[in-house]
Amino acid sequence: MSENPEIGQFVQTGTYRTNVHVAGSGPAMLCLHGSGAGVCAWANWRTFIPAMQDRFQIIAPDLVGFGYTETPADFEFRFMDSWVDQIIALMDGLGIAKAHVVGNSFGGSLALWLAAKHPDRFERLVLMGPGGWPVRVNENLEMLWDFKPTAEHMKQAMSVMAWNQALVTDELVAMRLKACSRPGALDHFHKLFPAPRQRWLDAQCLPINVLQTISHETLLVHGRDDRVVDPQVSWNLHQHLPNSQLHTIAKCGHWTMIEHGPLFRRLVADHCSG
């Protein structure tokens, strides 16, 4: 076992190996991270995993292009199919026939694609501050995707994520900046979202008629004060997902699972145990 908590185990997924954290027992719950610079499964779910592993088997992978998942130098990203294919291969590799999905931001968009393309492989969905609805790229998302590897830029990036600025500690900034400094990490990240960036936000969106076919019980959770993804995105998705409910949290930015961890975990546990 690695002494680095960001590294779990490696599972072959096509032409590369996926770094994934697997913990606990019970119904399988797939946790998908967002798309910020330096993000990985551990960064998003490090408090969620130990709190939920007594009720669910948590599977939290680094998506290809992020974290410690091996991204081949010549890998061609296909929005959103590259990640859909990765997750299905990962589930097959782990012997998981069906799972709940909890998706954060970009991971929320991916959860919708998974449910649309492989409906029989997934149970209930939780979409937290998700993308997946056509909006313009705002200045904060533009800044996050146009990341520059300096402490100042990382602090700015972390600051727009949180309503509670006390969470943006020097330790957090240093951890995320270190993650961006691994050989090749920033090169992979910049390959994902080159300018013009509107096309990558648009590419996450399923057509309305497809959204309306997603029959999975779905919980949308959004911070009222989210400055990265407008809460209206969740409201619009809610209008077209036939079996959805929406929970909006005050004094909360884009980091629901961190800023309001106990509440978020209760909502997820109740929804996925129903």
To the question of pTM greater than 0.75 for the whole model, the response is yes
pLDDT the model gives residue 250 = 97
Q: Provide the 3-class DSSP secondary structure of residue 13.
A: strand
What is the number of H-type helices and E-type strands within the chain? Answer: 13, 8
The residue from 153, 188, 222, 254 that is catalytic is 254
Please write down the HEC assignment for all residues of 186-236: HHHHHHHCCCCCHHHHHCCCCCHHHHCCCCCCEEEEEECCCCCCCCHHHHH
Distance CA 57, CA 29 (A): 6
CB 228 within 8 A of CB 254: yes
Distance CA 100, CA 31 (A): 9
Please return the burial class of 4, using the count of CB atoms within 10 Å of its CB with bins 0-12, 13-18 and 19+: exposed
Which H/E stretch holds residue 45?
Answer: helix 41-45
* Catalytic (active site) residue 82: no
CB 42 within 8 A of CB 94: no
The residue from 33, 35, 105, 109 that is catalytic is 105
Give pLDDT tens digits along the chain (274 positions): 468 999 999 999 999 999 999 999 999 999 999 998 888 999 999 999 999 999 999 999 999 999 999 998 888 889 899 999 999 999 999 999 999 999 999 999 999 999 999 999 999 999 999 999 999 999 999 888 888 888 898 899 899 999 999 999 999 889 888 888 887 788 888 888 888 899 999 999 999 999 999 999 999 999 999 999 999 999 999 999 999 999 999 999 998 999 999 999 999 999 999 7
Residue 29 structure tokens: 């719950």
The residue from 153, 226, 244, 260 that is catalytic is 226
CB 64 within 8 A of CB 33: no
pLDDT the model gives residue 170 = 92
* Catalytic (active site) residue 105: yes
* Catalytic (active site) residue 33: no
pLDDT the model gives residue 2 = 65
Q: Which amino acid is at 78?
A: R
List the one residue out of 39, 17, 265, 26 whose CA is nearest residue 145. 39
